[in-house]
Amino acid sequence: MDKEFVVIGLGRFGGSIVRELNALGVDVMAIDNDEARVNEYADIATHAVIADTTDEAVLKSLGIRNFDHVIVAIGENIQASILTTLILKDLGVKKVTTKAQNDYHAKVLNKIGADTVVHPERDMGRRIAHNLASASVLDYLELADQYSIVEIRAGESLQGNSILDLDVRANYGLNIIAVKRGKDILVSPDPYEVIERGDILIVIGHDNDLNRFEKKIAND
C-alpha cells in the first residue's frame, strides 16, 4: 500500500514538501489555517483543508491517525507547532516530523515525542557555508549531532592517489563510503582504487574532522 502523508503549514518549507510529494505521485493532504494558502495548493495536494490543528477534535475529524506520516511545517508560531505535535502523538500518528525554529524548540519537540525534528534554515545555512568555504564541497548533510556526510569533488591534491594513499581514516578519522564517477557509483570502494580528477567522494565522519579535511583541500 502506498504511504499517505499530511503536511501541516503551507509556508515555503511545507509548500515545497507538498509540491515534491505531488511530483512523486504520492497522496498528500495539505492543511493550513490560512484560506489563501490552502486555495493555492487545492490543485496540487490530494486534499487541501482549512483547519486549526491545535484543536484535537478537528484533527480527529480529519482521520489524522490513519495517515502514515505527518509533517508539521508550521512557521513562526512555535506554540502551535508544539501543541499540534503533541496532539498528533497523543492520537497515535505513526510518524511525526516537525520543523524546529531553534534549538530550544527542538528540545521541546524531542521531549514531547516528535519522531524526527528538522532544522531547514540552519541546515541550509550550514550547507551554503561549506559550499562557500570550499569549491570542492558539493553537498553537506547532517546525520546526527556532530556527524555528517559530505560530497567532495576530487581536485588536484586528491587525484592520482589511491584511497589507501589518502588514508583519511588514520589521518582524519573519516571514511570514504562511496565514489561517484560520471554515471557510476562505487560503493565501499576498494582501498587500491585510484582517485581521478572530478570524482566525487562521499565522506562520513565527525564535523570537526570533516572541517579539517575540507581546509586541507580548500584550494583545489
Query: Domains of the chain: which residue ranges?
Result: 5-118, 123-218
CATH class of the domain whose range is 123-218: alpha beta
Class of the domain covering 5-118:
alpha beta
pLDDT in tens, 194-214: 999 889 999 999 988 988 888
Instruction: Tell whether pTM > 0.75.
Output: no
| Residues 94-139 pLDDT 10s | 999 999 998 899 999 999 999 999 888 777 666 666 665 566 776 7
What residues are paired with 205 via a beta bridge? 148
- Kind of pairing between the strands at 175-181 and 200-206: antiparallel
Which regions of 17-158 does DSSP assign to beta strands (E)?
27-32, 47-50, 69-72, 95-99, 116-118, 137-144, 147-153
Residue 174 φ/ψ, nearest 5 degrees: -110, 165
